[in-house]
Amino acid sequence: MGTLFKNGTVITASEMIKADVLVEGETISLLGKDIAPDGHEVVDCTDKYLMPGGIDVHTHLELPFGGTVSNDDFNTGHKAAAFGGTTSHIDFVIQPVGKSLEDGLKIWREKSKQAQIDYGYHMAITDLRPEVMEEIPGLVDQGITSLKLFMAYKNVFQVDDTTLFKAMQIAEENGMIVMVHAENGDVEATLTPELLAAGNTAPQYHASSRPPEIEGEATNRAVVMSGLTGCPLYVVHMTCESSIDALRRGRAAGYPVMGESCTQYFFLTVDDHLAAPGFEGAKYVCSPPIRTTHDHQVLWQALKDSTLQAVSTDHCNFWYDGGKGPWQEWLDERGGLSWVEYEQQDPSYRRPGKELGVGNFAKIPNGMPGLEERMMVMWEHGVNAGRISPTRFVELLCTNPAKIFGMYPRKGTISVGSDADIVVWDPELEYTLSVDNTHMLTDYIVYEGWKVKGKPVKVYQRGKKLVDGDEWFGKNGEGCYIPRQAHAPVI
Ligand SMILES: [Zn+2]
């Protein structure tokens, strides 16, 4: 007996068709008109859309950063993702400085034991010593086919140009893709102390320390290296005209270069959010920074003309009002980080968060929540606003991420043989986004009070129901690791 999704409209990257979908076991076994119920469990999808589960290829769950750890983990983050229609994600394993890639993987495998949705890993390289280079080909055998390098965060994650270029050469030889955080970290590391010394310590100066030109410059540098090495490049979280122009030039030159933006960069601005009174702007501190309404228009245009291939979140959330309870003593006693345990002792206890940067914008942990809202917000302002079609929406949030990162057609589409990751989407359902109804572990959201029309009402992963209305059916440990293919297409 299977599950039969009847009377819905299936949306893929290429078409919208009225069709029934039969799921047997974990995969889709049949697509067609008027499939007989035949003893299957029937899910009535009249007036609903059926979409492939969303894929977010840019998340940081339980990431150690700036003296704390991001809130959502493979438990809470996964649940929030699924309520928003996202059933797979790729998280960044960070190579611990001075250690091996395998050391990083061990940490992430441990975190993943409580997974509730499917997940893969990118490998973020921070220190490319010769013996680390030798580890790279072995990653492909483990289904890790993407390397991430930071051109920013000097003295923390930043790599120099030699390292980036070499990494691209090795990646190209092994059929891998290189992802870059493109900002000139040396310029930022010069501007930041100057701003602080001049007394410019408020959250808005985070944007002054990272002007759009340094994103454009770094993007161009990576694009040129991709052209020289032939290594596919994926520029993460693109925010502004100067970097989009660099990507567009690279694509016009025939280089294998692609890019994503993240939800927040289409909506938030320095003036309205980062420069909000008091310390409020800290909620919106992420790198690269949010920009201007002009940049928003540039990003929408880049989605339309295929300069950009995907929309992710860079979900990396910290308490706005954190650091509550005797955390320092607690940590000293235990000598380790187990924030979940700490916060469970008393609901008022919280790990440190954004308040670490009061009086010094450079100490504000970078990142914001967004994993749950990505699909709803992009549907409302993309599809409902007439900027992109429903098929393009699916392409950007589900199909392209699967193709670029070697998960297609197992993930990212509704077709026979694909994993039955299915979102039943009600295009008429109106919903108000709020911290009061979010499933993320957070004390704020950046879309507070926003109204959207269109929302997942049922979410399935590999044939199993995860979400039905407000009810949660997922279980810890049921999320599966997704090994990914090398030599994925450049699109
Ligand atoms: Zn990120």
CA of 10 to the centre of ligand 1 (A): 31
pLDDT band at residue 131 using 50, 70 and 90 as cut-offs: very high
197-227 pLDDT, tens digit per residue, is: 999 999 999 999 999 999 999 999 999 999 9
The verdict on 138 and 179 lying in the same domain is yes
Query: What is the percent of the chain with per-residue pLDDT over 90, rounded to a whole number?
Result: 92
- The span from the CA of 77 to the CA of 119, in Å, is 12
CA of 369 to the centre of ligand 1 (A): 12
Number of neighbours of residue 279 by Cβ within 10 angstroms: 18
The mean-pLDDT minimum among 196-210, 227-241, 319-333, 363-377 falls in 319-333
CA of 422 to the centre of ligand 1 (A): 26
70-95 pLDDT, tens digit per residue, is: 999 999 999 999 999 999 999 999 99
The verdict on 221 and 365 lying in the same domain is yes
CA of 59 to the centre of ligand 1 (A): 6
Strand partners, 142: none
CA of 366 to the centre of ligand 1 (A): 9
- The span from the CA of 312 to the CA of 398, in Å, is 10
Last residue of a domain, one of 360, 375, 390: 375
Please report the pLDDT score of residue 336 as a whole number: 61
CATH, residue 416: 2.30.40.10
The answer to whether residue 334 scores a pLDDT higher than 80 is no
Write phi, then psi, for 2 (nearest 5 degrees). Answer: -115, -165
Task: Classify residue 466: in a domain, yes or no.
Answer: yes
The answer to whether residue 380 scores a pLDDT higher than 90 is yes
The verdict on 21 and 157 lying in the same domain is no
Give the three-state DSSP class for 437. Answer: coil
The verdict on 70 and 42 lying in the same domain is no
CA of 205 to the centre of ligand 1 (A): 20
CA of 255 to the centre of ligand 1 (A): 24
CA of 407 to the centre of ligand 1 (A): 20
Task: Classify residue 66: in a domain, yes or no.
Answer: yes
Please report the pLDDT score of residue 335 as a whole number: 65
The verdict on 334 and 262 lying in the same domain is yes
Angle, helices 241-252/212-229, rounded to nearest 10 degrees: 20
Number of domains observed in the structure of the chain: 2
252-280 pLDDT, tens digit per residue, is: 999 999 999 999 999 999 999 999 999 99
CA of 150 to the centre of ligand 1 (A): 10
The verdict on 320 and 427 lying in the same domain is no
| Residue 98: exposure state from Cβ atoms within 10 A (0-12, 13-18, ≥19) | exposed
CA distances from 186 to 160, 182, 193, 225 (A): 10, 12, 12, 19
CA of 17 to the centre of ligand 1 (A): 35
- The span from the CA of 384 to the CA of 377, in Å, is 10
CA of 13 to the centre of ligand 1 (A): 26
CA of 316 to the centre of ligand 1 (A): 7
Please report the pLDDT score of residue 332 as a whole number: 78
CA of 456 to the centre of ligand 1 (A): 25
pLDDT band at residue 477 using 50, 70 and 90 as cut-offs: very high
CA of 463 to the centre of ligand 1 (A): 30
CA of 91 to the centre of ligand 1 (A): 9
Strand partners, 69: 64
Number of neighbours of residue 344 by Cβ within 10 angstroms: 10
140-159 pLDDT, tens digit per residue, is: 999 999 999 999 999 988 99
Q: What is the DSSP string of 255-275?
A: --EEEEEEGGGGT-BIIIIIT
Strands in 1-126 per DSSP E: 3-11, 16-24, 27-32, 41-44, 49-52, 54-59, 64-65, 68-69, 86-94, 118-125
The answer to whether residue 329 scores a pLDDT higher than 90 is no
CA of 127 to the centre of ligand 1 (A): 18
**Residues whose CB falls within 8 Å of the CB of residue 79, separated by 6 or more in sequence, listed in order:** 116, 439, 472, 474
Task: Classify residue 418: in a domain, yes or no.
Answer: yes
CA of 40 to the centre of ligand 1 (A): 42
The verdict on 151 and 261 lying in the same domain is yes
HEC readout, 206-221: HHHCCCHHHHHHHHHH
The verdict on 360 and 440 lying in the same domain is no
The boundaries of the domain holding residue 455 are 3-52+411-472
CA of 181 to the centre of ligand 1 (A): 8
CA of 314 to the centre of ligand 1 (A): 5
CA of 238 to the centre of ligand 1 (A): 11
The verdict on 60 and 126 lying in the same domain is yes
Task: Classify residue 404: in a domain, yes or no.
Answer: no
| Residue 330: exposure state from Cβ atoms within 10 A (0-12, 13-18, ≥19) | middle
CA of 475 to the centre of ligand 1 (A): 26
pLDDT band at residue 337 using 50, 70 and 90 as cut-offs: low
- The span from the CA of 217 to the CA of 23, in Å, is 48
Burial track 168-202 (b if 16+ CB lie within 10 A, e otherwise): bbbbbebbbbbbbbbbbbebbbebbeebbeeeebb
The verdict on 120 and 74 lying in the same domain is yes
Task: Classify residue 47: in a domain, yes or no.
Answer: yes
CA of 318 to the centre of ligand 1 (A): 14
387-446 pLDDT, tens digit per residue, is: 999 999 999 999 999 999 999 999 999 999 999 999 999 999 999 999 999 999 999 999
Give the three-state DSSP class for 125. Answer: strand
The verdict on 322 and 290 lying in the same domain is yes
Please report the pLDDT score of residue 340 as a whole number: 81
CA of 57 to the centre of ligand 1 (A): 10
Task: Classify residue 344: in a domain, yes or no.
Answer: yes
Where is 344: in which H helix or E strand? Answer: helix 339-345
- The span from the CA of 32 to the CA of 28, in Å, is 11
Task: Classify residue 92: in a domain, yes or no.
Answer: yes
How far does the chain reach from its first CA to its final CA, in angstroms? 38
CA of 152 to the centre of ligand 1 (A): 11
Please report the pLDDT score of residue 338 as a whole number: 74
The verdict on 260 and 371 lying in the same domain is yes
Task: Classify residue 484: in a domain, yes or no.
Answer: no
Where is 369: in which H helix or E strand? Answer: none
